[in-house]
Every structure is written in structure tokens, then in C-alpha cells.
């Protein structure tokens, strides 16, 4: 009964979405407020129905209802409860339902937080979101119904969740990632509304920024979590594989990051208007493209869902309608958004433009590298693989370029700068940074690597500018601490996010270059040493988990004869899926991780063991978290709350209203 | 104790014929070991979804690792080993796409895009600077912007 | 800026969408043979029947032949086997390359299901398989009179594949 209820809720949601997608539009066309507000109530009802449907699916999982095909395929009575719940989004049908639920949650959020926005704008935004929701509902109902029954011949027990997914990572990673993906639909809808209304002013940019920021923060966090998960769960010690599925999440992130910066210029200076619109459309389009790539099977990936051409065709048609439609609108309307501001080559505008150029090229690199094997195949250029060597070769110079520009952020002012003064300010920092970047690794690691030197050079350069800027800001203040507190959340958030980038770059550079890996044979009582750590295999024992059996190794780690920690890597065999799994054991640390995973048993009492020493690998995810956190701080800025209250004034006098506090 | 493990692994072996992600190889030098590690990470398992042969559990990957090990041990350099495998499995087997007319778009596309856009943007701004501002009172707007800038710095 | 610039994203997207549409009907896992139009690699391997009898490249018949890569652990090979037997009855020369298998298992399989092969090469370690670029059984190679690989089929050799893919090439080879 319960699954049917869920199914029914989805059908009802389709009806309300249809209303939300049409009636408010008539209201906007005829200027009737009563029709416009229908959008808000529909958004609420739609959301409620999605919650009911989702709850029904959770109920089916928790109660082991194996008459439901999706549950039978992704769960098992022995599966621990937390994984039963997260298994809801462990497969295609459930994860797409989560997508739709999150989309409707964002819609409701827009309905709540846009009380003071012009009614027509709200109505248009909610309508656009309803159209997207409509596509996903049709997709769920016609190709991916999670409530389909297996009656009358249903299995007694389920096929269990893929052991790789039986992990904390599955609980948090997809929901947070989807929050980011789907969150870009809001700014997408704002862009479409602006194109439809033919109005784009700094108030518009100010409404868009918090929505973009929140989505961006979630996506940043989601990608970081995914990287961390892959690192500890896959047992290979890697943190980024340039796999099509990773790239699918990285493209919207890059476009979204470009959008954040472009929006800043549009808000402050009224420039790059059509470019900002294009980015707003792109960020969400890349989310949809990612969904297509992951679920259609056109590319081969380790993480992809089961291939299904029918679903692929549906998403592609949907993608073409949404993206093609919005780009057509863009082609017709974007020409009318002129900006009248002038700026020099040495100006903040140019700095942001440079940032956008580099980020766009980076997006193009990721897209080209991801899709090129497909192109080559279709045009009969031969089968090729595009992997880390390609991406690193093109991506690293772009990142270095971005960092170089980042250093100028505190120095550069809007519109116009004295170039000679700029050089005078920057040069000492640049020289000092280069010297430190060469000396530090030479002193600590005793070997110089060009990439490490370049990365550190840029990192120290940016860091020195951030610090000098703060110092300068506080120099003439009577109470420096008080002055620090008085600085805007925008400033702190931005600086923190940029600092996060530095932390991430340091982590990426050092761990890529200075990691040590060793495959060895370990007997009980035997030991292996890498980078002044010694690993001793003390004993092996059997473990019985709820749905697996395992062998666990007991390994003691010593550093120069001093005990450091005990590690317990496991080799598991999951009983239902008959799948062996490597559970790596990690001793995390701020400056290094010790990582050990079991290979296979060799003859007698010995095992093949892989040991890693990974310096600064934590900094990667720490950097990601700092970036996301910085973004959240920016949202606290008064400007964005003020904007909501002052829409009336911004409506009347356009460009720079609301900046009077 | 040993017996329990052997039973356990007998069970695993019967379930999955391709369980062996790592072998323990003895190298003559650290250079050889590093070359082996680099190569196995850069070579793609032709059978799997999207994995390098170092990480893949497939039996074919095991064979390829063995081959890379043997050739490394025999003193072959990276280029020779890669060529050997590309001759047999095609360009697909390496994650580094070859440089040839069919892949020029891949390698040079982004570079051309970058410089192309850069030139257009700079040219445009130069052109815009030489034009007069239309309609808006320039001085007034600049004043406003200055106020905004200062206002921001004060926070 | 000229108006057409705003049309550019749409044009690019349409091109992309067309390619993606093509991609949907494209099996991204099929690999072309790098060894195509190359002579069959040199080898010296024991026969399946006895480890003392060594088969080399010279022992391959100088005529149009099929080389079939198979193993008892491969379930599609079982599916393919009856058609191979039928082809052999029609007079097609098939060489069996037993790939990474156990000798006893393979011999029992042939005894039970019939032996379509004129020669059975026993490649326990998969060394010839590696030289051929084999990435899974079954695979079938078509060799011409000079021992040059003319075609490679990955997966089960079905009557359809035989008629549509292999026969046309064989016709050309015979006439040429």
C-alpha cells in the first residue's frame, strides 16, 4: 500500500507542477497578481508531495519490502539500518527522486526568501523551476519509477547494496552534492526571468549572489567529500582520478565559480551582464549534462550507474529542451543588456575578466577531455583514452595563472589603477615568494620539483598579498581588533575562501610529488619501513560483520622506534554480493597520512600489503572545507539581507540602490 | 589459524576469479620501482570501466602489470614499454593521448581558445576606451563609484 | 558587439547535442584491433594435447583461417561453441587458442562438446593473447593466406556476424 501511496504522490506532484508551470505565466502576461501567487502555494504542495513520496521509499527500505523492485535490487534484510536509509539514493531511481526532492526544496526556499522581490520576478523564477521539475517528474514516472512492484514473484531477500556504497560516504556525499547541482537551478531560473523581462540591474545580481553562493558552497563541500570518500574507500590512495563522473561534478563547479566572480562585477559595476547570464545558464546546464553523462552510459566510468539508453534518450531530449531553449532565448535577448562602464586594462574588472577567462578555459579543458574519446569514436578517429597526463598538463598552468591573478585582488581597484605603482607594490612580494618557494622544499625535502616550486611560489605570493592587505587596512586604526571585527563578512568570507584555495593547492602539490608507495610482502612478525616509519604486522584475526566476513590485520606503527599508532586494515567478503572489499586503515595527520591496505594472502602466513606515506593530503579537503565555509560567511553580509528589504527602492532607481547604509 | 584463512580465501577465490590487485615485485633499483609505479598508473586496463592497471583487479591487468614488470626489469625504458603495449592494444591503453592530427583539437583547442579570447577582449577594451561614453553623466557616475569604493574599504 | 556572438553558445550546444545523440547508440567498450593488417605474432607454444608438442607460427595453415580465442571459464564461449562446430563441418579452418585455462578442463570440454579446431594452441599464461591484444574471451581473428590479420571480432561469433562481417571479407580475399 505504502509504495502505491508514494507513486500516487508523485502523480499528484506532476499535476501541481503543471499548474505551477503555467498559471503564474498567464498572471505575469496579464499582470494579475492573484494568478502569480499561485506559484508559491503550488511550490509548497509540490514539495510536500515529494516529501511524502520520498518517505514512502524510505519506509519500503526500512521495512524490507522486497516486493518493490528497487528495494530488492539495492537492499537486504541484513543491511545495517543507516545503510538501508542511504540505499534509498544508492541506485538510479532513488537518486533521481532525491534530485527531484532537492529541486522542490530549493523551489520552496525561493518562495520563502523572496517575500520582498517583485512579484513578477518571483512568479517567473518559480515557473522556470516548475518546468525543470516537470521534466524530472516525467522522467521518474515514465522511465525510472522507484515504486515498481515485483508481484507476484518477488524475492525473499534483496540483492544487497554494493559494498563500495556501504559507507558513511554514501550517507552524506550524494545529498550534499545534489544540493549543489540542483542549487544552480535557482540562479538559472533568475537568469531566464531576467531574459524574459529584459531587466538586469545590480539588484538582480544582488538577489542572485546568495543563491549562487549557497549552491556553490554545497557543491564545493560535496566534491571535497567525494574526493575524501574515494581516497579512503577505494583503497588506492588516490584523491582525484579525472574520471568522467568526477569531471561531471567539476564542470558545474568551475562554471559556478566563474559565475560568482562575474556576478560580483555585475553587481558592483554593472558590467559583463550578458556574460553573467550565460554563466548562470551554463552552470546549471553542466549539472544536467553531468546527469546525462553519468546515467546514459555514453562514457565509461568506474562510478557510473547501470547503462540504459532509454533513460539516456529521455535526459538528452530534456537537456536539449532546457539548454537549447534557454540559449535560444539568450541569443535573442542578451544583446540588449549593454553596460556603459569604462575600465582600464589594469583594473578589478579586468582581473575578474581574467579569472573568468581562465576558469572558462579550465571548464573547456575538462569538457573536451571528458568528451573527446566519444568524439574520436563517433568520427572514427580511433579509440583513445584521455586521463590524468592530459588533464594535469593543461589544468595546472591554468591554476597557476589563477593564483597569479588572485595575488592582485587586494591591490586592484575598480576601473583604473596606476600600473607603475602596482608593479612597485607587487614586485617585492613576488621576488620574496620565489626565494622562499625554492628554499623551503630544498631545505625540507632535499629535492626540488619544478611543480612544487611553482605552486609554492604562487601560494606565498597570494598569501603575502592577503596579509599585507589586512595589515594595511588596520594600520591607521586606533583599535585594530575592533576594526577587524568591523570588516564586512564579504571581506572575511572572500579572504577565507581564497586562503582555502591556497591550502588546497599546497596539499595537491605536495601530496602528488612527495607521496611514497610500496607494495610488500608481510609475514606475521615482519615489518616494512617507508619514510622513517616502520609498520609491523602483529597478527591476523577473523571478523564477523552483520553482512560480511573479514580478515583483519593488526599493524603497529613506529617512528624511529617510538610507538605511533595501531592500524587495522581489513579484507572483507560481502556474503550476498560475493564481493571482496579492501578496507584501508589510515592514520591521519595534518602533515602526513599513513595509509595501509591489504592485498591478497600469499603462501603461508604472509600477505601482500600496500603502504603509502602521503604528506599534506589532508590539506586538500581542509582547503575545500575552508572555501565552502568562506562562502557561507559571505552570505552573512548585510548587503544581501538589505537587498531583500530594499527591493522597492531598487525597483525604482535601478543601478546602485540599496547601498545607503 | 592458518587453516581458517585458507578456507576463507578458498571461498573468496571460488567467488571471484580476479582477486589480486597487487603483487609483490622485487626491483633492482628505486628508479625501476618508480618507473613501474608511474607506468602502471598511466596505462589503462582495456577490459575495465575506467581504471589504470595499478588499481584494477581484472586478470588482464595482472598480466599487463607482469609484462610491465618484466620489461622494466629487463631495462626497457618508459617509452619502449608504452610503445610495446600501444602496438598491441591501441592508443586506448594509455591515458596520455598521442599527439597526432586527430588529437590536435584536444591538445591545442584550449590553448587557441585562451589566446583567441584574450586578444578579442583586449582589442575590445581598447576600442571601448577610445569611444565616448553614451548618455550617462560620467562625472556623476564616477563620483558615485568613488563613494561606494570608499564606503566598502571602511568596513 | 555584433549580434551573432550571442548565437554562438546555441550553435555550439546544438553541435554537442548531435554528437551526444550519436554517442547514445555507440558502444564505448568495443575496441578496434591495433594488430589489424599486421602479420600474426610469432609464437612457440605447446599444443593442448601434450606439453611436449610445440606449435609455432610456421604450423599455421597457409590459407584463410579463423583463430578463435576461448577458455572453459568463459561462459560466452559455451554459447559460441556449437556454431564453431558447425562451421568446422562446413570446412572452415579454425585454430583454437586456449587462453589462460587449465589443460584438463579444456580437454574435457572438447571431448564433451566436440572439437572444431584443426590445431589447439595452449596459452596458459596468456602470452600470445597479450601479443594479439586480447582483452577477453571469446575473440575471433580472421587471417588471410599470408598470415595477416584481416579482421577481429570480439564476443560471441554468431551466424549473423559470420554472414554479415566475415563472409564479405573472405570473398574479397579469395578473389583478390
What pTM did the predictor assign? 0.90
Question: C28, A296: Cβ pair inside 8 Å?
Answer: no
The C-alpha atoms of residue A241 and residue A366 are separated, in whole angstroms, by 12
In chain B, what percentage of residues exceed pLDDT 70? 68
Contact A602, A586 (CB under 8 A): no
Q: Which pLDDT does position A642 carry in this prediction? A: 44
The C-alpha atoms of residue A144 and residue A89 are separated, in whole angstroms, by 13
The C-alpha atoms of residue B101 and residue B136 are separated, in whole angstroms, by 51
- Fold category of C29-174 in CATH: Glutaredoxin (3.40.30)
For residue C141, the distance in angstroms to the closest alpha carbon of chain B comes to: 14
Question: C135, B47: Cβ pair inside 8 Å?
Answer: yes
Interface test with A, best of C24, C25, C37 (most A CBs within 10 A): C24
Q: Which pLDDT does position B5 carry in this prediction? A: 39
Q: Does A377 touch chain C if contact means CB atoms closer than 8 Å? A: yes
- Roughly what angle, to the nearest 10 degrees, separates helices A2-30 and A119-143? 150
Q: Which pLDDT does position B139 carry in this prediction? A: 55
Residues of chain B with CATH 1.10.8.640: 2-98
In the three-class reduction of DSSP (H, G, I as helix; E, B as strand; rest coil), residue C52 is classed as coil
DSSP E strands in chain C: the ranges are 44-46, 54-56, 65-70, 94-99, 119-123, 139-143, 149-154
Q: Does A284 touch chain C if contact means CB atoms closer than 8 Å? A: no
Per residue in C111-142, pLDDT (tens digit) is 999 999 999 999 988 889 888 888 878 899 99
Chain B hits for A238, Cβ within 8 Å: 55
Per residue in C18-45, pLDDT (tens digit) is 999 988 876 655 666 677 888 899 999 9
Question: B22, A600: Cβ pair inside 8 Å?
Answer: yes
- Residue-averaged pLDDT of chain B: 76
Q: Which pLDDT does position A503 carry in this prediction? A: 97
Question: A328, C6: Cβ pair inside 8 Å?
Answer: no
Per residue in B121-150, pLDDT (tens digit) is 888 878 777 765 544 455 556 556 656 655
Question: C24, A320: Cβ pair inside 8 Å?
Answer: no
Give the residue, B107 or A336, on which the prediction is more confident.
Answer: B107
Contact A403, A391 (CB under 8 A): no
Backbone angles phi, psi at A139, to 5 degrees: -60, -50
Per residue in C60-72, pLDDT (tens digit) is 998 999 999 999 9
**A302, A491, A656 member nearest B155 (Cβ):** A491
The C-alpha atoms of residue C129 and residue C124 are separated, in whole angstroms, by 10
Q: Which residue stretches of chain A have pLDDT < 50?
A: 642-661
**Location of C-alpha cell 579509440:** A383
Q: Which pLDDT does position A485 carry in this prediction? A: 78
Contact C140, C68 (CB under 8 A): yes
Per residue in A17-71, pLDDT (tens digit) is 999 999 999 998 898 988 998 999 999 999 999 999 999 999 999 999 999 999 9
E strand or H helix that includes residue A597:
strand A592-601
CA gyration radius for chain B?
A: 29
Q: Which pLDDT does position A655 carry in this prediction? A: 37
Q: Which residues contact A344 (CB under 8 A, 6 or more apart)?
A: A350, A415, A416, A417, B125, B129
In the three-class reduction of DSSP (H, G, I as helix; E, B as strand; rest coil), residue B48 is classed as coil
Per residue in C152-174, pLDDT (tens digit) is 888 889 999 899 888 998 988 88
The C-alpha atoms of residue A244 and residue A304 are separated, in whole angstroms, by 9
Question: A378, C32: Cβ pair inside 8 Å?
Answer: no
Q: Which residues contact A147 (CB under 8 A, 6 or more apart)?
A: A3, A4, A6, A7, A10, A56, A57, A60, A68, A70
In the three-class reduction of DSSP (H, G, I as helix; E, B as strand; rest coil), residue A419 is classed as helix
Q: Please give, one letter per residue, the 3-state secondary structure of A552-571.
A: EEEEEEEECCEEEEEECCEE
**Closest C-alpha to A198, from A322, A324, A329, A328:** A329
- Fold category of B2-98 in CATH: Helicase, Ruva Protein; domain 3 (1.10.8)
| DSSP class of C39 | B
Q: How far, CA to CA in Å, does A553 sit from each of A315, A520, A523, A567, B77? A: 46, 14, 11, 8, 37
Question: B16, A578: Cβ pair inside 8 Å?
Answer: yes
Give the Cα-Cα-Cα angle B126, B128, B132 (nearest 5 degrees). Answer: 130
Is B49 a residue whose pLDDT tops 80?
no
Question: B17, C73: Cβ pair inside 8 Å?
Answer: yes
Q: Does A299 touch chain C if contact means CB atoms closer than 8 Å? A: yes
Q: Which pLDDT does position B3 carry in this prediction? A: 37
The C-alpha atoms of residue A588 and residue A617 are separated, in whole angstroms, by 9
Chain C hits for B16, Cβ within 8 Å: none
Per residue in A68-120, pLDDT (tens digit) is 999 999 999 999 999 999 999 998 999 999 999 999 999 999 999 988 788 89
Chain A hits for C21, Cβ within 8 Å: 316
Interface test with C, best of B13, B59, B88, B117 (most C CBs within 10 A): B88
Q: Which pLDDT does position B146 carry in this prediction? A: 59
For residue C176, count CB atoms less than 10 angstroms from its CB and return exposed for 0-12, middle for 13-18, buried for 19 or more.
exposed
Q: Which pLDDT does position B19 carry in this prediction? A: 39
Question: A328, C10: Cβ pair inside 8 Å?
Answer: yes
For residue C73, the distance in angstroms to the closest alpha carbon of chain B comes to: 9
For residue A632, count CB atoms less than 10 angstroms from its CB and return exposed for 0-12, middle for 13-18, buried for 19 or more.
middle
**Closest C-alpha to A505, from A402, A385, A376:** A402
Amino acid at each position: 500500500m505504502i509504495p502505491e501511496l508514494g507513486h500516487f504522490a508523485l502523480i499528484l506532484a506532476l499535476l501541481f507542477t503543471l499548474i505551477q508551470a503555467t498559471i503564474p505565466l498567464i498572471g505575469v502576461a496579464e499582470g494579475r497578481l492573484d494568478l502569480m501567487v499561485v506559484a508559491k502555494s503550488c511550490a509548497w504542495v509540490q514539495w510536500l508531495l515529494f516529501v511524502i513520496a520520498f518517505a514512502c521509499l524510505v519506509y519500503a527500505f526500512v521495512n524490507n519490502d522486497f516486493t518493490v523492485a528497487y528495494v530488492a535490487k539495492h537492499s537486504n534484510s541484513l543491511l545495517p539500518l543507516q545503510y538501508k536509509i542511504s540505499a534509498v539514493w544508492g541506485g538510479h531511481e532513488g537518486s533521481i527522486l532525491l534530485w527531484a526532492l532537492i529541486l522542490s526544496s530549493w523551489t520552496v526556499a525561493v518562495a520563502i526568501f523572496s517575500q520582498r522581490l517583485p512579484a513578477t520576478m518571483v512568479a517567473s523564477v518559480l515557473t522556470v523551476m516548475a518546468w525543470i521539475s516537470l521534466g524530472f517528474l516525467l522522467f521518474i514516472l515514465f522511465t525510472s519509477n522507484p515504486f515498481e512492484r515485483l508481484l507476484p514473484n518477488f524475492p525473499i531477500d534483496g540483492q544487497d547494496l554494493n559494498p563500495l556504497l556501504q559507507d558513511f560516504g554514501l550517507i552524506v556525499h550524494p545529498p550534499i552534492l545534489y544540493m549543489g547541482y540542483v542549487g544552480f537551478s535557482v540562479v538559472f531560473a533568475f537568469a531566464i526571468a531576467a531574459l524574459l523581462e529584459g531587466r538586469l540591474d545590480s539588484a538582480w545580481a544582488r538577489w542572485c549572489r546568495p543563491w549562487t553562493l549557497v549552491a556553490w558552497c554545497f557543491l564545493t563541500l560535496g566534491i571535497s567529500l567525494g574526493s575524501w570518500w574515494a581516497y579512503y574507500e577505494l583503497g588506492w590512495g588516490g584523491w582525484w582520478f579525472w574520471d568522467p563522473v568526477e569531471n561531471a561534478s567539476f564542470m558545474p563547479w568551475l562554471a559556478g565559480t566563474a559565475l560568482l566572480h562575474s556576478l560580483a562585477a555585475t553587481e558592483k559595476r554593472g558590467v559583463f551582464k550578458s556574460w553573467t547570464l550565460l554563466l548562470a545558464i551554463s552552470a546549471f546546464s553542466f549539472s544536467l549534462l553531468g546527469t546525462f553523462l553519468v546515467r546514459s552510459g555514453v562514457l565509461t566510468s568506474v562510478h557510473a550507474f547501470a547503462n540504459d539508453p532509454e533513460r539516456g534518450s529521455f535526459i538528452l531530449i530534456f537537456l536539449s529542451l532546457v539548454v537549447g531553449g534557454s540559449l535560444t532565448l539568450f541569443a535573442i535577448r542578451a544583446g540588449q543588456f549593454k553596460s556603459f562602464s569604462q575600465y582600464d586594462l589594469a583594473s578589478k574588472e579586468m582581473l575578474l575578466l581574467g579569472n573568468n577567462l581562465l576558469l572558462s578555459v579550465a571548464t573547456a579543458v575538462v569538457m573536451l577531455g571528458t568528451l573527446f574519446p566519444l568524439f574520436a569514436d563517433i568520427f572514427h578517429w580511433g579509440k583513445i583514452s584521455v586521463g590524468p597526463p592530459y588533464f594535469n598538463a593543461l589544468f595546472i598552468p591554468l591554476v597557476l595563472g589563477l593564483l597569479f591573478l588572485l595575488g592582485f585582488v587586494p591591490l586592484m581597484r575598480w576601473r583604473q589603477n596606476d600600473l607603475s605603482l602596482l608593479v612597485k607594490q607587487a614586485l617585492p612580494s613576488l621576488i620574496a615568494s620565489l626565494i622562499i618557494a625554492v628554499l623551503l622544499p630544498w631545505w625540507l625535502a632535499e629535492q626540488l620539483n619544478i611543480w612544487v616550486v611553482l605552486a609554492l611560489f604562487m601560494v606565498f605570493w597570494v598569501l603575502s598579498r592577503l596579509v599585507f592587505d589586512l595589515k594595511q587596512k588596520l594600520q591607521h586604526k586606533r583599535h585594530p581588533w575592533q576594526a577587524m571585527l568591523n570588516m564586512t563578512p564579504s571581506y572575511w568570507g572572500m579572504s577565507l575562501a581564497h586562503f582555502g584555495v591556497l591550502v588546497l593547492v599546497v596539499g595537491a602539490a605536495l601530496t602528488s610529488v612527495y607521496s611514497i608507495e610500496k607494495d610488500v610482502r608481510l609475514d606475521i612478525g615482519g615489518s616494512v619501513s617507508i619514510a622513517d616509519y616502520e609498520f609491523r604486522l602483529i597478527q591476523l584475526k577473523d571478523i564477523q560483520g552483520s553482512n560480511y566476513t573479514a580478515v583483519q590485520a593488526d599493524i603497529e606503527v613506529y617512528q624511529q622506534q617510538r610507538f605511533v599508532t595501531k592500524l587495522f586494515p581489513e579484507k572483507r567478503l560481502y556474503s550476498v554480493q560475493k564481493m571482496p572489499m579492501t578496507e584501508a586503515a589510515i592514520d591521519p595527520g595534518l602533515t602526513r597520512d599513513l595509509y595501509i591496505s591489504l592485498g591478497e594472502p600469499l603462501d603461508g602466513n604472509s600477505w601482500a600489503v600496500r603502504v603509502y606515506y602521503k604528506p599534506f593530503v589532508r590539506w586538500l579537503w581542509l582547503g575545500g572545507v575552508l572555501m565552502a565555509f568562506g562562502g557561507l560567511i559571505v552570505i552573512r553580509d548585510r548587503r544581501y539581507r538589505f537587498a531583500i528589504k530594499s527591493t522597492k527602492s531598487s525597483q525604482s532607481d535601478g543601478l546602485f540602490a540599496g547601498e545607503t547604509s | 589459524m592458518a587453516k581458517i584463512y585458507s578456507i576463507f580465501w578458498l571461498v573468496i577465490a571460488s567467488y571471484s576469479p580476479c582477486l589480486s590487485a597487487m603483487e609483490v615485485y622485487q626491483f633492482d633499483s628505486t628508479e625501476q620501482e618508480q618507473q613501474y609505479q608511474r607506468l602502471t598508473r598511466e596505462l589503462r586496463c582495456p577490459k575495465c570501466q575506467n581504471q589504470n592497471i595499478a588499481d584494477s583487479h581484472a586478470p588482464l591487468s595482472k598480466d599487463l602489470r607482469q609484462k610491465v614488470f618484466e620489461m622494466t626489469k629487463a631495462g626497457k625504458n618508459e617509452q619502449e614499454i608504452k610503445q610495446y603495449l600501444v602496438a598491441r592494444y591501441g592508443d586506448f591503453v594509455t591515458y596520455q593521448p598521442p599527439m597526432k592530427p586527430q588529437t590536435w583539437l584536444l591538445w591545442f583547442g584550449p590553448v587557441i581558445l585562451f589566446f583567441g579570447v584574450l586578444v578579442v577582449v583586449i582589442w575590445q577594451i581598447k576600442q571601448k576606451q577610445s569611444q565616448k561614453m553614451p548618455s550617462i553623466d560620467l562625472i556623476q557616475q564616477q563620483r558615485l563609484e568613488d563613494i561606494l569604493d570608499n564606503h566598502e574599504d571602511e568596513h | 558587439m555584433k549580434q551573432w556572438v550571442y548565437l554562438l553558445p546555441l550553435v555550439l550546444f546544438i553541435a554537442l547535442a548531435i554528437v551526444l545523440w550519436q554517442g547514445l547508440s555507440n558502444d564505448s567498450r568495443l575496441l578496434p584491433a591495433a594488430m589489424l593488417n599486421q602479420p600474426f605474432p610469432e609464437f612457440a607454444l605447446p599444443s593442448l594435447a601434450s606439453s611436449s608438442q610445440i606449435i609455432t607460427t610456421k604450423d599455421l595453415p597457409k590459407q584463410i583461417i579463423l583463430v578463435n580465442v576461448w577458455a572453459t571459464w568463459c561462459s560466452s564461449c559455451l554459447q559460441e561453441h556449437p556454431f564453431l562446430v558447425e562451421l568446422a563441418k562446413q570446412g572452415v579452418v579454425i585454430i583454437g587458442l586456449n587462453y589462460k585455462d587449465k589443460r584438463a578442463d579444456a580437454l574435457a570440454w572438447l571431448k564433451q562438446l566436440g572439437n572444431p579446431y584443426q590445431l589447439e594452441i595452449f596459452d596458459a599464461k596468456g602470452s600470445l593473447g597479450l601479443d594479439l591484444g586480447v582483452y577477453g574471451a571469446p575473440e575471433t581473428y580472421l587471417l588471410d593466406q599470408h598470415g595477416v590479420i584481416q579482421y577481429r571480432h570480439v564476443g560471441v561469433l554468431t551466424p549473423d556476424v559470420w554472414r554479415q562481417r566475415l563472409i564479405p571479407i573472405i570473398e574479397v580475399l579469395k578473389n583478390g
